[in-house]
Amino acid sequence: MTDSRGRDVHFDVAGRVIAAQEWGDPKGRPVLALHGWLDNSASFLPLAQLLKNVHLIALDMPGHGHSSHVAEGLAYNIWSDISDIFAVADSLGWDKFNIVGHSRGAIISALAAGTFPERINSLTMIDALAPMPMASEEAPEQLAKSIIGVRRRQDKKTSLFSDIDAAVEAREKGIHKISSEAARMIVERGVKPVAGGYTWSSDPRLMAPSALKLSKGQIKAFFSRISVPVVIIAAETGLVKWIEKQISVLDYFSSHDFIKLPGGHFLHMEDEAATIAEIIQARV
């Protein structure tokens, strides 16, 4: 692929806008890409330049990038995006497709593949594996935290930056180490102009706890339904320790490859992009 930024596309899903970037020939092999928490579709820009003979659609997940926010009073939950994923696929005429997910997007990808396994050709998970399980007795407290968190963040003002460079600098200081170049890709799609400069376009409620979390048994139920080849790519200085603590989850997959690569959490945007593109290319 030679184009840099993708073609902007928008999908009407139940009266909400799901924004995305598109690369490649619509006749190519269908690949849906899901980004991580507080990122957006621009996190797949480097891979988009390397993949060949594919039709790549990278979504701005709800509450991120250029996509609509959820209705007032609601929290963001990892399973609530799954209906949107398949609504987009239906709009594209994709009966079956490949999924690539990074971080939170990887977890959502696996749940989607477990929900409608007959529609997924392959699953690539980048630096994430399974959601953190919750014991049943913790559910009431979790729901209470979510309700309070959503209320506190509903109208919360986000940081104001004088220019794009200031926003990029702030993003570089986030939880996970990220290069200035990669941060700029995400920031340029993740801010909006306001009086006095720029602010994040993402929904502040993304910082609120989920309303509920899946139990170990529920995670097993979803993952055990995935019958297609799965590859898990772990970053050596990213979330590999967290992934290794969940290593028993791999037994639920009928077929999988577990690959460790150098680099941090955003390795798919940085030095390992070419290697990851080759891994994806071999499976789609």
Nearest to 123 by CA among 188, 32, 185, 186: 32
Considering the candidates 43, 68, 103, 146, report the single residue annotated as catalytic: 103
- Confirm whether 215 is a catalytic residue: no
Catalytic residues: 103
